[in-house]
């Protein structure tokens, strides 16, 4: 079941007599294929089933994505032949006809060595449970199981006792692998009549808990099916289902129009370049025509090789006439392209309007007329509730630093020329002091709104200093331009900051405010709705439109939150 679990059963579940189009396509692709192997690449929640037919040398791959909303896809000959859900990321597309590729591989938690495990724990800035679940890719349930087995506190900072924790955890991982083995048994845990978990090992985190009973099953697949089938999924209302259908239809239409725009733009450009090649190599084109005429060639078009490009020529036309025809066809393609772009813009407007209507319908209360002081700048709330502000341009950089950088604050800047100034405000009396966690979140935010994003970097560095180290007086009379500030003294560097930004709402003085912030800060202070990473700039408009529709925001409001450059939705 995509997004939930995979199980091997003696017989399949009951299904409707009328198969869905996707199920019919699966039957067509897989009938007669024999199972060859099953793998889980690099320990990811990604199952790959390899099948083959005697009459076909190309294998058939059935892949099950068990992360996010889940997905099921079939590839043949290195190309996707069927997908349950079309998806697009910065470096991977899941759609029929696209090349088959696996999701990006992270660290394999089941093959990690003790030294590498210790290094990851020592680098972590979060608690032990979060580090194991997210950074080390074990996932929540397995992370909790490992912590229970080694008798450590999951809420303790991961780096606090990294050597001891790494030694114990490395042993526990090996123990868990041995227990699971090649043919894992199943263990179902119930609290009263309610199934609370299914595992392929005897779970230390459930053993001994009052009211929780264990039931053994011959295989993990049986316990998983029994457990997951008890989970109740609340069906959407007819109104919600209809609204979701309209959103999907608009998204499919937008994808088709985007593909048409890209195809027309590419075709028009290729026609122009071919015509320009003929004119640039006119003598070679005439020589090719003379050779063709000498051989008694017909007047039908033929292709000649000019400067490594195949170009169409005709013996009854001069090279200039052939080039003119190509230019005319390029103009016709450009006219079609203009119409396709208008149609795409209209679809995107419909998507944005639908998202805005949903946002208005879901809005809990009218927005106050007076904004908060920090909303004049870019801003977010750190995990610890500290207000962090940043400039939007050179003018606001100067104004913000002159008026708002006070004693007790911290000045943060990406380690790149031309980035925005960022100020971490001193917490009010009684609140926690500015911590390393808040400074790293501010540094991550600073690099997101720097040229590092448009450059498509995966990570970058920033630094922080005290307010008295920031001045308009450069060293030895050096000129400091508008929006820039001179830094004197030691810089405290923040390295390996990931270029990813979360979108969501935070709770501030009883209001839900939209914010773009490091994902960890949004999870701690409100609701995380999406995570973005750098992507292809030419695809930004499409990503904005789909994201605005998904979040229920207008594109103008969304654009005010986002960094400049390409976008890719990593997760919603």
Query: pLDDT tens, 5-54?
Result: 667 777 666 666 677 788 888 888 888 899 888 887 765 678 899 999 88
Residue whose C-alpha is closest to residue 519's, from 464, 556, 450, 572? 572
pLDDT digits (tens, 9 = 90+) for 266-301: 899 999 999 999 999 999 999 988 888 887 656 677
Judge whether 433 and 419 are in contact, CB under 8 Å: no
Rounded Cα distance between 521 and 468, Å, is 28
Rounded Cα distance between 90 and 212, Å, is 44
Task: Report which DSSP code applies to 233.
Answer: P
pLDDT of residue 508: 86
pLDDT digits (tens, 9 = 90+) for 359-384: 444 444 444 456 788 988 999 999 98
Q: How far is CA 88 from CA 68, 101, 257, in A?
A: 13, 12, 15
Helices (H), 363-408: 394-404
Rounded Cα distance between 147 and 154, Å, is 6
pLDDT of residue 14: 65
Instruction: Name 266's Cβ contacts closer than 8 Å, sequence gap at least 6.
Output: none
| Beta bridge partners of residue 39, listed in sequence order | 48
pLDDT digits (tens, 9 = 90+) for 46-77: 889 999 988 888 889 999 887 767 889 999 98
pLDDT of residue 475: 62
Q: Estimate the crossing angle of helix 238-280 against helix 540-551, to 10 degrees.
A: 170
* Gyration radius (Cα) of the chain, Å: 30
Judge whether 229 and 13 are in contact, CB under 8 Å: no
Rounded Cα distance between 220 and 185, Å, is 5
Rounded Cα distance between 423 and 435, Å, is 14
pLDDT digits (tens, 9 = 90+) for 126-165: 789 888 887 787 877 898 899 999 999 888 889 989 999 9
Percent above pLDDT 90 for the chain: 37
Rounded Cα distance between 471 and 232, Å, is 60
Q: How far is CA 554 from CA 194, 353, 513, 541, in A?
A: 43, 7, 15, 13
pLDDT of residue 503: 94
Q: Residue 394: is its pLDDT beyond 50?
A: yes
Q: What is the DSSP string of 338-374?
A: HHHHHHHHHHHHHHHHHHHHHHHHH-SSPPPSSPPGG
Judge whether 46 and 67 are in contact, CB under 8 Å: yes
Phi, psi of 104, deg, nearest 5:
-55, 135
| Range 541-550 average pLDDT | 82
Rounded Cα distance between 301 and 321, Å, is 13
Q: Residue 1: is its pLDDT beyond 70?
A: no
pLDDT of residue 519: 92
pLDDT of residue 363: 46
Percent above pLDDT 70 for the chain: 88
SS3 311: strand
Q: What is the mean pLDDT of the chain?
A: 84
Q: Residue 170: is its pLDDT beyond 90?
A: yes
SS3 134: helix
User: How many CB atoms neighbour CB 93 within 10 A?
Assistant: 15
pLDDT digits (tens, 9 = 90+) for 298-347: 667 788 899 888 999 988 889 999 999 999 999 999 988 888 888 887 78
Helices (H), 449-538: 451-454, 519-525
pLDDT digits (tens, 9 = 90+) for 483-526: 788 888 999 999 999 999 999 999 888 788 999 999 999 998 88
Rounded Cα distance between 17 and 70, Å, is 25
Q: Which residue has the higher pLDDT, 347 or 97?
A: 97
Q: Residue 570: is its pLDDT beyond 90?
A: no
Residue whose C-alpha is closest to residue 569's, from 531, 536, 540, 539? 531
Rounded Cα distance between 570 and 88, Å, is 9
pLDDT of residue 422: 95
Which H or E run contains 194?
strand 194-199
């Amino acid at each position: 079941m995509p997004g939930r679990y995979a199980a091997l059963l003696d017989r399949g579940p009951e299904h409707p007599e009328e198969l869905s189009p996707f199920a019919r396509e699966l039957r067509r692709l897989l009938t007669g294929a024999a199972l060859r192997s099953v793998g889980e690449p690099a320990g990811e929640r990604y199952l790959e089933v390899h099948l083959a037919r005697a009459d076909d040398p190309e294998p058939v791959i059935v892949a099950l994505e068990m992360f996010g909303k889940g997905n099921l896809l079939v590839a043949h000959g290195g190309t996707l032949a069927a997908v349950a859900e079309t998806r697009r990321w910065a470096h991977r597309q899941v759609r029929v006809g696209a090349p088959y590729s696996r999701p990006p591989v992270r660290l394999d938690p089941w093959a990690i060595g003790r030294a590498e495990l210790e290094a990851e724990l020592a680098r972590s800035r979060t608690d032990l449970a979060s580090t194991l679940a997210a950074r080390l890719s074990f996932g929540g349930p397995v992370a909790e199981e490992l912590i229970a087995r080694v008798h450590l506190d999951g809420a303790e900072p991961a780096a606090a006792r990294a050597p001891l924790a790494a030694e114990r955890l490395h042993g526990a991982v090996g123990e868990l692998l041995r227990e699971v083995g090649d043919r894992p048994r199943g263990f179902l845990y119930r609290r009263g009549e309610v199934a609370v978990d299914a595992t392929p090992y005897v779970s230390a985190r459930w053993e001994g808990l009052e009211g929780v009973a264990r039931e053994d099953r011959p295989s993990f697949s049986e316990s998983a099916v029994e457990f997951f089938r008890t989970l109740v999924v609340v069906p959407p209302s007819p109104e919600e289902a209809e609204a979701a259908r309209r959103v999907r239809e608009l998204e499919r239409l937008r994808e088709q129009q985007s593909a048409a725009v890209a195809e027309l733009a590419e075709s028009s450009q290729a026609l122009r370049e071919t015509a320009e090649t003929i004119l640039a190599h006119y003598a070679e084109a005439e020589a090719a025509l003379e050779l063709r005429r000498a051989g008694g060639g017909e007047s039908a078009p033929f292709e000649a090789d000019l400067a490594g490009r195949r170009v169409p020529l005709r013996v009854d036309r001069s090279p200039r006439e052939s080039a003119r025809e190509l230019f005319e066809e390029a103009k016709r393609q450009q006219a079609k392209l203009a119409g396709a772009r208008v149609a795409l813009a209209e679809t995107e407007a419909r998507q944005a309007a639908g998202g805005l209507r949903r946002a208005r319908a879901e809005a809990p209360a009218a927005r106050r007329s007076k904004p908060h002081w920090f909303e004049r700048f870019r801003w977010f709330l750190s995990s610890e509730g500290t207000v962090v502000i940043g400039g939007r341009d050179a003018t606001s950089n100067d104004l913000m630093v002159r008026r708002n950088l006070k004693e007790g604050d911290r000045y943060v800047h990406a380690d790149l020329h031309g980035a925005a100034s960022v100020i971490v405000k001193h917490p009010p009396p009684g609140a926690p002091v500015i911590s390393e966690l808040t400074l790293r979140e501010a540094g991550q935010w600073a690099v997101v709104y720097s040229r590092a994003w448009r450059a498509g970097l995966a990570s970058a560095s920033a630094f922080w200093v005290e307010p008295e180290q920031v001045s308009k007086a450069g060293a030895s009379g050096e000129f400091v331009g508008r929006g820039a500030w001179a830094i004197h003294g030691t810089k405290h560097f923040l390295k390996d900051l990931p270029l990813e930004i979360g979108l969501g709402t935070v709770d501030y003085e009883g209001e839900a405010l939209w914010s773009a912030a490091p994902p960890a800060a949004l999870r701690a202070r409100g609701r995380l709705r999406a995570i973005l990473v750098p992507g292809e700039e030419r695809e930004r408009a499409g990503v904005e439109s789909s994201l605005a529709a998904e979040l229920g925001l207008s594109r103008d409001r969304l654009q005010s939150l986002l960094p400049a450059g390409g976008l890719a939705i990593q997760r919603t």
